[in-house]
Chains A and B, each alone.
Chain A
Amino acid sequence: MLLTTAIALVFFYAPNDADQGFVQKIFYVHVPLAIVALIGFVAAGVMGVMHLRTRDDRWDQRSYVAIHMGVIFGVGVLATGAIWARASWGKWWVWDEPTLVSFLIVFLLYVTYYPLRYSIEDPQRRARYASVFAITAGAFVPINFIAVRLAESLVHPRVLNQTAGDMPGEMRLTFLVALAGMALLYIALVKLELTSKHARYELRRLRRLLEEEDRPSGAAAQPIATVPAKPN
């Protein structure tokens, strides 16, 4: 509902940008996607810390899903950014712009999370290594953000500066509603993914238990530990 409100505000309330005109409307989807994706990556790092502290596999699951969703949002950031760049600058991509390249680096860094995770078979070791990755990469995100802020921007505008990007009130309100909507969408999708994974895990466990009952008594004495590890 918040996203629908945001879209209505984008097209019927927020004024057209004096410099870019109508094409600036992409801002309201591109920037919230980027902010939510980056916060998701940092949150995944915090969840990685929680996993290493508690050894509770649920934190590893949450960290994995937060990264997974961040990568999906990252695809959206790159795609909408490329379209906006083409409309504003006449190019799909500008390689010497720190903001663009740094986001691409962060995105590619998180893409490497998947091969790392799936290349380790032992569930405990996989969860540990994945958490270490999430923490390291999660720490890299704010460092990268600060570095980009310090660098001189060529064409990409700065949004979260001290003057709030010089946005007029209507634009700022629309942007904040869009940001809140995007954050809620992220949380809803993370919850959906976690619930689905948990349901599949419990079903697999139930099947194992039912099948074990069928086996002759000697073979049935298999420990519960043979239940497959929690899903990736």
Chain B
Amino acid sequence: MPALPLDEAGKYVAGAYGVFVALILVYVSIMAARLQRIEREVQNLTELAERKLKGPR
């Protein structure tokens, strides 16, 4: 096949790089959501530990 003209090839190149960026963004978003869950869990555990320290011994 002959080389595509720049305007048409540009769409494919943008699509390929867009897929790559989207893939990384989706993964990073999932990791960010996980990190938020971990942060909440740390808060809960800190509160639990504080209650234990303040409670009757």
Contact = CB atoms under 8 A, between A and B. Distances in A.
B4 A22 contact: yes
Contact of B45 (A185, A210, A213): A210
Contact of A83 (B6, B10, B12): B12
Interface of A: 7, 17, 19-23, 25-26, 29-30, 33, 72, 75-76, 79-80, 83-84, 86-90, 185, 189, 192-193, 196, 199-200, 203, 206-207, 210, 213-214
B10 to A, nearest CB: 7
B23 A19 contact: no
A79 B19 contact: yes
Given A75-B23, A88-B1, A22 B38 contact: no
Contact of A203 (B1, B3, B23, B38): B38
Interface of B: 1, 3-6, 9-10, 12-13, 15-17, 19-20, 23-24, 27, 31, 34-35, 38, 41-42, 44-45, 48-49, 52
Contacts of B38: 196, 199-200, 203
Q: Is the interface of B mostly helix, strand, loop or mixed?
A: helix
B15 A83 contact: yes
A189 B12 contact: no
Of A7, A25, A87, the most chain B CB neighbours within 10 A belong to: A87
Contacts of A88: 1
A193 B32 CA distance: 11
A80 B4 contact: no
B27 A189 contact: yes
Contacts of B3: 17, 19-23
